[in-house]
Structure 1
């Protein structure tokens, strides 16, 4: 299971992962990753399986 949330904000904070953390707690080992897509420009790590990614990551190629 992968959780995805979309935020219109240009910044992302730890609180923005509250729902994904709750999902991870409920699913246990079945939870593979959680992503917050946001209007910013940086990919950020917010925990072992939690990442914030720019919405533009959906249509652009990054460094592989």
Structure 2
């Protein structure tokens, strides 16, 4: 459990046994809602960089609240429904 909030959140890493799909960080609330994070060294991630988050969204339906592809650039933009490219610096600002 992460004790940075009053809400109880568990953090996970998802990797399918065959290695076909992987999500760097999954944050799951006590209510079962999930946020997925991918971390990329790119300054301008593309829709393809969100493909595993899109798969997870489709698997979880309404439980999937949002996905973010964290990147080294400065722009925030939408990649897919409920999935955005977010500058990693946004975590500190």
More strand by share: 2
Task: Give the alignment's TM-score, normalised by structure 2.
Answer: 0.62
Alignment gaps of 5+ in structure 2: 1-33
SS of the counterpart of 1:32? strand
Task: Give the alignment's TM-score, normalised by structure 1.
Answer: 0.88
Q: Could you list the runs of 4 or more consecutive aligned residues of structure 1 that deviate by over 6 angstroms after TM superposition?
A: none
Structure with greater Cα Rg: 2
More helix by share: 1
Greater relative contact order, per chain length (Cα 8 Å cut-off, separation 6+): 1
Give the alignment's Cα RMSD to 1 decimal: 0.8
Alignment gaps of 5+ in structure 1: none
Corresponding pairs, count: 60
